[in-house]
Structure 1
Amino acid sequence: MRTSNDRSIAGLLVAQVLGAFNDNAFKFVAALLAVRAIEGVVPAGPELEFASQSAMTTAFVVFTLPLMLFSLPASVWIDRISKRSILVATKGLEILLMALGTVALRLAPEGGLPVLVILAAMGAQSALFSPAKYGILPEILSPRELIRGNGRIETWTMVAIIAGTASAGHLLDLTSSFDGGPVWWIGLFLTANAVVGFAAILRLPEVPPASAALPIRTVVGEAWRAVRDDRVLWLASAGSVFFWAIASLVSQDALVYAKARLSLGVEQAPLPLAASGVGVALGAYLVGKLSRGRVDTGWIPLGTLGITAACAAIGLSTPGFHGVVVWMAAVGVFCGWVIVPLNTLIQIHAPKSRRGAVIALVNAAQYGGILVGSLSCDALARHSIDSAGVFVAAAIATLIGTAWALWLLPQAGVRLVLVLLTQTIYRLRVRGAEHVPTDGGALLVCNHESFVDGLLISASLDRPVRFIVEKSVYDKRWLRWFMRLFGFVPIAQDAPPRELLESIRLAGEALDRGELVCIFAEGEITRTGQMLPFRRGFSRIIKGRNVPVVPVHLDRVWGSLLSFSRSKWLQIPRKITVSFGDQLPASVSGAEVRARVRELASAAWAERIEDAGPLHAEFVRSARRVPWRLAAADERVPRVSRIGLLASAVAIARELRAEWSDVSRVGVLLPPSVAGAAVNIAASLAGRTTVNLNFTTGPAVMRAAIERAELRNVVTSRAFLERVGVELPAGVEPIFCEDLERRISVVLRARSVLAALFMPIVWLERTCGSDAVVKPGDPATVIFSSGSTGDPKGVVLTHHNIGSNADGVAQAIPVTKDDRMLGSLPLFHSFGTLGLWFALRNGIATVFCANPLDAVAVGRTVQRYSLTLLIATPTFLQIYTRRCTPGQFGSLRLVVVGAEKLPARIADAFEEKFGVRPLEGYGTTECAPVVAVNAPGFRAPGFYQPASRRGTVGQPLPGISVRVVDPESRDPLPIGETGVLEVMGPNVMRGYLGCADLTAEVLHDGWYSTGDIARVDDDGYITITDRLSRFSKIGGEMVPHGRVETELQDAAGAIAQVFAVTGIPSDSKGEQLVVLHTLDESRIPEIRAELERRGLPNLFIPRESAFVQVDELPVLGTGKLDLRGVKELALARFAGD
């Protein structure tokens, strides 16, 4: 959508383009008329080259001298009158001058004094127009739009210069082709351009005068002091003067070089110079686009070095016509990289009340530089230096000027390195830079993932940043000089108090001076992939200061070559997102800043969808990298390679094209197995949404799921259906794997292998039956929730939901190509689905075990395949602890437990027997499913970074943020308080299938309400207390079932789960507790007495009559306690009470 600013600058652009065209066309017409006159009397050779150089110099001086002389008087009017009024008046003056130019060409078609007088007047007109043009830009554009606006101005100005320069010879040749040579027709054409430019400038909005009227001496004096007192403005002004001197020298010499060295005629001579104009337009456009709203001074030395190289190439070699055109175009590109940042710096740093006067003063100096460059060209010619030698002289002068600038401003050298890094190795995406103050102090607080974090932050901002660094790093001999040069502040957490206070004082003084200071609050680079606790140093720095705190997050740096990730991969350019959050008050706590940084991480991870692919895409790429490595195995298929699994999926998808042709969702009823994995991959390749059906819930629930998902067919197995005793509902077509295996021919298998190996992914999707390109935002699966607390709901998860969750798990729990994982969780379980794609995307093998309750089979499988990773539920761990031998689990290095709370007694027993401490995680189906996980810490000499905390479910995964809210008002609660846990991140579901009302109940502005009661500590670790639905309100007090269960288990000294607590209605107190148990009834009085001895509140101690003995506690197929079944048993037992 076009904004008013777009329309305003469009009018200015049109007026500028036509004005620049007229200036250059008329100037070169005057110069070429003079050269044409000389060629008639001076013989070819060095004498003609010198005479041509003098004629060119005369035309350039006649135009430039008034530019310089009238710029100072312009400074008097530029701020006391509206800049729009000045622009309108000067465009009106241009119409008059072009009309007089027509008369001059009519009276003197051979050129001469009348034409030069008009040319001088045009220079004076430009002296008034130029500062108003540049001065009005900051008044109609925001600071973030200014660099782009300057880029557009310079781009289209160069287009006009090209057109004006190139058309001069053509216009002369065109008029010469008519009898009488009506050169004055050129004047009529230029007058028409001036009229159009006048009409365009009227579109500019009204702007007020910048200051009151003052005498010229005062105005010029104030402008001079503004330039002198601001070092950046002074250096930018000096740099622009030097640049224009070189530009004038090169552009004037280019015409002579074209005629003398390339033997081009009047019509072709301007072509190399026109090529440079094309280059300037391209360079200005590129720097405006690539800077992304930032004024990056690193482009300036990069541009000047490029100008040096290109000029030297022209002067020292004999490139010929095409070579000269290419090199002159390169000169132009590099000039664009220089002039746009310089102009923007001058506009930004000039005081608002004197901006026009400063620009006019700088313009006068620039025109002086142009005059010097033009006269230098003539002087070099007088000293017998030919046109090639002038190019060499320009290269030498530019190189010396670059070295001088880098000596005076070494920061520009660093910015040069940053530009090279961010345009080659890294590709920066900056979000929220407007939250960083354009002036004044601010403290940036950022996460720390690599050695280049500081460079990336510096590259994201226009302003210089002072970094607080660990003293041990600051003191390294090869870094100390650099850190001192750029004002780094060393700090050591374990330093004596006096030294620590000195570091804090230095950082605080920098803030007081209005500088930006950045601290990596974690204190060290993360080695675990997780955000470390924030230290308290930054709070001391801002204490008592009225400066804002800006949270900053770096995304995708983990995994790059300069991070500590063990799974580095070469990706050039590597896309990095730098996010700046809303300003926070100086009183903010470290935990609050950390929470804001996590929210920035969630937003950045959500944006990864722009570069992500569907789930199967990463598997296809990894399969092709290592095609013959083990991918999966089960009891029936002892080994299948990665390419074999992919080829099987392709063959299945192609064979089922008819059955899947007019459906969007496909049913799968298979155990964890190679076949189950292949069918899920096939459906993904075919662009279909899988629905893995839960065969443990009973026929009614399965039928409801099939109807809700509108499934027409289900891929299953006769042997499996017979084993589990399940029948598909009527009206659903079964597709049996046994039949499918016979249907797939040898030819189709061979073609599928070739397609899996070589076919582009998009073509592969098409051949597998996808109707369109599969996108990361498309639904990948519908998982019906376990129904542990109510009716199952169909959770719609996209490819990006699952893929981002798998990537987050991989960052928190790094795996290697040598890892092998047990796939025992059913595919209808969200952890089972994640485990499948986690392994496929990360190149690790999965060995499936169809029945996770069969401890003998599980132990045998782990031992046989030397599995290293186990994902299970606490219920399953109890079984394995009782029935597996220590040797069977000897290869395990990591055990992650989820789906329900992990009691300490189960973890202790497992660790005691197998020597591996289970790490508890937490998730919900709606979050794809992992929200948080305890992870292995990092140990090395001098380092220890924990990534787990007992009694908690760990920290949120990278890219996920959490908060705790009041159960009734949903207002966020302070850190450390208990309430309902909410989750935000790219893993949060799209919604419930066909249940918009239920979706709206749990999703609010991107936050998913888990219904779990939790608290989050200062370091981000989450403790789950219970589910909101697992409370009973007894006599007005909320009694948590989970806590009562834990107390009962401890009082009984039981490792296995023997108690299940629920609540049922009570006439007297609203609700009452009921406890199902599997113990001998005689132990109940003793256990209740133990609860009383422990000081448990009376409301938390169930009545003895509320204990109900059962043969076994109801458990879901996922291994979780069936809370709904518990309540139904309790209600049945007390139905008559």
Structure 2
Amino acid sequence: MLVNVLRGLCRLLFRVQVTGLENIPQEDRLLIIANHESFLDGLLLGLFLPKRATFVVHTGVLKSIFFRWWLKLTPHLSVDPASPLAMKKVIQRLNAGENVVIFPEGRITLTGALMKVYDGPGFVAAKTGVKILPVRVEGAAQSYFGRLSDAHPRKLFPRVTLKVLPTTEIRIEQHGHHAPLTAKQRRRIAGEAMRNIMQHMLFKTQQSKTLFEALLDTMEKYGAKTHIIEDMNQVEDTYQEVLKRSLALGRIATKVSQPDEVVGVLMPNVTNTLALVLGMTAFKRIPAMLNYTAGADGMRNACIAAKIRTVITSRKFIEAAKLQETVAQMSDLNIVYLEDLRSQFGMLDRAWLMGYALLYPRAAMEPATAEDTAVILFTSGSEGKPKGVVHSHKSILANTHQILAMLDFSPTDKFMMALPLFHAFGFTGALLPLLNGIPLLLFPSPLQYKLIPEVIYDKGCTVFFSTSTFLSNYAKYAHPYDFYKLRVVFAGAEKLNEEVRKIYHEKFGIRILEGYGTTECAPVLAATRRWQTQWNCRQFFRGFNIS
């Protein structure tokens, strides 16, 4: 009776939804694992999962009167993670045929991302050979039962979803070892396998949506008045302002293009460029990000490959980048300047924007699915003429989710993005923070070797995506204190030079993380992680889909 009352109360207050119940097998002896978002997690799993299970709890939890009361209603096993024999009790329960629920992180998340995953649960799964049932807890971290910092939005009763995934197993193989594995090696391999399962769970349970829908969802989660993006105009724009610009620029783009038409975008790293891209996708126009450093022939080849007839750019940018001659050589294309298009945004358009689109943006956008084409990015041309790579909304967002499952970014961070938006690394690297509530600073050119370290210092940036070559040049001019706040420096697009790795460690105390990828992969395919001591191929993202 009491369980039914609690279940009804949680449904009412937290609007709990459970998906994937069909993935729960009939037989018992399951190891049920879940990410740990709040103090509510155990209660929710106990109330809404149909399997009766023993909950593994930290001995410290028993000090709470509330949890001691709740644990009277369900089987539980208190363990001390510091004890080397802690997992032995869990193995005994599983071997006795019981279902066991355990949180592999061992603590509630402080960042909203995956925390450290202990080796113990993975070792238990490998030792017993049981099936693992992953369950994603989503939304509980935003409640006051979570432990997120004040930078994260809080709600009294957020919507909570439990997503049950198909079962999996951990099998320890030799992995190229000639000698039999030691107990320590087996435990480490099992722990790594468990972390991979957890990361895969976070990635696979992301909701399919378009880029513009992702912007709207993020704005609703973090607040329309949250300052999120800044460029060298030194104006911090809120989500509300980004939405307003996106709708206005998207509306303007519809005046020179047709639905599903590929339109070239020749713009610098400024807020309006991202707003234009998002606005175009909202109205089913397909932005093709042109490389303005490729020259007239390179851009013309790109336009031919993507069947581009119209290019949107800015007179101010063309003059600043001294591209007048290059643009003049592209006279066979319809070059449209934003400065001219603004005059076409009349009274009816303003009324539409202020009286309808800003109030009901989901109704104002054109219907689209995550499988639709979102953007065309171009390869570097290292294998000949640049190739156009067609990316769906799903593939771009999937890559951001994969990166977030690997690295613990949060709203307390600030991204510095100097890589151009026409570059796959720069494009995804800019959307990742914008669509996840993380402040972003756009810088117009990665070639400002003296200025960029100063800007990173002045703006207090904590995350920096770049390349080995650029990082080498920044190190030549940077003061050792310029990068004092950087906690993640990520190098991609080319192999990281060992001398660059060494100088950042010795001069700045920074360990550079390295990524591998291609434009076709949106672009990150594999990456080192902050706690890794060496690269190994098992860090390739699982479940990757570029469709």
Q: Which residue of 1 aligns with 2:281?
A: 684
In the aligned structure 2, how far is the partner of 1:931 from the partner of 1:425?
A: 36
C-alpha deviation, 1:884, in angstroms: 3.2
In the aligned structure 1, how far is the partner of 2:505 from the partner of 2:171?
A: 46
Q: Structure 1 residues 725, 430: CA separation in 2 closer, same or farther (over 3 Å shift)?
A: same
In the aligned structure 2, how far is the partner of 1:611 from the partner of 1:420?
A: 34
2:215 matched to 1:609?
no
In the aligned structure 2, how far is the partner of 1:855 from the partner of 1:664?
A: 38
C-alpha deviation, 1:761, in angstroms: 0.7
Q: Which residue type is aligned with residue 737 of structure 1? A: L
In the aligned structure 1, how far is the partner of 2:513 from the partner of 2:171?
A: 37
Q: Structure 1 residues 774, 454: CA separation in 2 closer, same or farther (over 3 Å shift)?
A: same
In the aligned structure 2, how far is the partner of 1:904 from the partner of 1:586?
A: 33
2:101 matched to 1:490?
no
Secondary structure of the residue aligned to 1:855 is: coil
CA contact (8 A) 1:614 1:800 kept: no
C-alpha deviation, 1:664, in angstroms: 1.9
Ranked by relative contact order (alpha carbons within 8 Å, sequence separation 6 or more), the top structure is 2
- Determine which of 446, 465, 476 is the counterpart of 1:871: 465
Q: Structure 1 residues 893, 752: CA separation in 2 closer, same or farther (over 3 Å shift)?
A: farther
Q: Which residue of 2 aligns with 1:666?
A: 263
Instruction: Report the TM-score, using the length of structure 1 for normalisation.
Output: 0.41
In the aligned structure 2, how far is the partner of 1:736 from the partner of 1:707?
A: 20
2:135 matched to 1:553?
yes
Secondary structure of the residue aligned to 1:609 is: coil
- Listed as ranges, the matches of 1:685-704 within 5 Å are 685-704=282-301
Q: Which residue of 1 aligns with 2:178?
A: none
C-alpha deviation, 1:782, in angstroms: 1.0
Q: Which residue of 2 aligns with 1:572?
A: 158
Q: Structure 1 residues 461, 929: CA separation in 2 closer, same or farther (over 3 Å shift)?
A: same
2:44 matched to 1:461?
no
CA contact (8 A) 2:53 2:98 kept: yes
2:375 matched to 1:781?
yes
In the aligned structure 2, how far is the partner of 1:559 from the partner of 1:882?
A: 42
C-alpha deviation, 1:829, in angstroms: 0.9
Q: Which residue of 1 aligns with 2:10?
A: 421
CA contact (8 A) 2:52 2:99 kept: yes
Q: Which residue of 1 aligns with 2:88?
A: 504
Superposed CA RMSD: 3.9
Q: Which residue type is aligned with residue 735 of structure 1? A: V
CA contact (8 A) 2:114 2:408 kept: no
CA contact (8 A) 1:614 1:776 kept: no
Secondary structure of the residue aligned to 1:984 is: coil
- Determine which of 209, 213, 235 is the counterpart of 1:639: 235
Q: Which residue type is aligned with residue 470 of structure 1? A: H
Secondary structure of the residue aligned to 1:577 is: strand
- Determine which of 949, 966, 988 is the counterpart of 2:532: 949
C-alpha deviation, 1:420, in angstroms: 2.8
C-alpha deviation, 1:886, in angstroms: 4.1
More off after superposition, 841-850 vs 869-878: 841-850
In the aligned structure 2, how far is the partner of 1:481 from the partner of 1:755?
A: 53
C-alpha deviation, 1:598, in angstroms: 4.4
Q: Which residue of 2 aligns with 1:821?
A: 415
Q: Structure 1 residues 930, 672: CA separation in 2 closer, same or farther (over 3 Å shift)?
A: same
Secondary structure of the residue aligned to 2:142 is: coil
CA contact (8 A) 1:549 1:586 kept: no
2:363 matched to 1:759?
no
Secondary structure of the residue aligned to 1:731 is: coil
CA contact (8 A) 1:647 1:752 kept: no
Q: Which residue type is aligned with residue 71 of structure 2? A: M
Q: Which residue of 2 aligns with 1:258?
A: none
In the aligned structure 1, how far is the partner of 2:284 from the partner of 2:452?
A: 33
C-alpha deviation, 1:484, in angstroms: 5.6
In the aligned structure 2, how far is the partner of 1:472 from the partner of 1:647?
A: 49
Task: For residues 391-435 of structure 1, give each alpha carbon's deviation from its aligned partner in whole angstroms, at most 9, with x where no partner exists.
Answer: xxxxxxxxxxxxxxxxxxxxxx23532343245415233326454
In the aligned structure 2, how far is the partner of 1:808 from the partner of 1:540?
A: 26
Q: Which residue type is aligned with residue 551 of structure 1? A: L
Q: Where does structure 2 lack aligned partners over 5 or more consecutive residues?
A: 174-185
User: Which has more helix, going by share of residues?
Assistant: 1
Instruction: Report the TM-score, using the length of structure 2 for normalisation.
Output: 0.80
Q: Structure 1 residues 784, 853: CA separation in 2 closer, same or farther (over 3 Å shift)?
A: same
Secondary structure of the residue aligned to 2:303 is: helix
In the aligned structure 1, how far is the partner of 2:541 from the partner of 2:450?
A: 39
In the aligned structure 1, how far is the partner of 2:31 from the partner of 2:12?
A: 27
Q: Which residue of 2 aligns with 1:984?
A: 543
C-alpha deviation, 1:904, in angstroms: 4.5
CA contact (8 A) 2:464 2:488 kept: yes
Q: Structure 1 residues 602, 581: CA separation in 2 closer, same or farther (over 3 Å shift)?
A: farther
CA contact (8 A) 1:923 1:931 kept: yes
In the aligned structure 2, how far is the partner of 1:581 from the partner of 1:703?
A: 50
- Aligned positions, number: 521
- Listed as ranges, the matches of 1:119-268 within 5 Å are none
Q: Which residue of 2 aligns with 1:443?
A: 31
Give the share of equivalent positions with the same residue, in percent.
Answer: 24
In the aligned structure 2, how far is the partner of 1:448 from the partner of 1:630?
A: 27
In the aligned structure 1, how far is the partner of 2:214 from the partner of 2:305?
A: 24
CA contact (8 A) 1:820 1:868 kept: yes
Q: Structure 1 residues 846, 521: CA separation in 2 closer, same or farther (over 3 Å shift)?
A: closer
In the aligned structure 2, how far is the partner of 1:624 from the partner of 1:417?
A: 31
Secondary structure of the residue aligned to 1:719 is: helix
Q: Which residue of 2 aligns with 1:625?
A: 224
Secondary structure of the residue aligned to 1:853 is: coil
2:329 matched to 1:734?
no
Q: Structure 1 residues 557, 856: CA separation in 2 closer, same or farther (over 3 Å shift)?
A: same
CA contact (8 A) 2:16 2:162 kept: yes
Q: Which residue type is aligned with residue 641 of structure 1? A: D
Q: Structure 1 residues 922, 477: CA separation in 2 closer, same or farther (over 3 Å shift)?
A: farther
Task: For residues 721-749 of structure 1, give each alpha carbon's deviation from its aligned partner in whole angstroms, at most 9, with x where no partner exists.
Answer: 634863454531111234335x2568578
Q: Structure 1 residues 757, 787: CA separation in 2 closer, same or farther (over 3 Å shift)?
A: same
- Determine which of 391, 395, 398 is the counterpart of 1:801: 395
Secondary structure of the residue aligned to 1:660 is: coil
Q: Structure 1 residues 790, 416: CA separation in 2 closer, same or farther (over 3 Å shift)?
A: farther
- Listed as ranges, the matches of 1:902-913 within 5 Å are 902-913=496-507
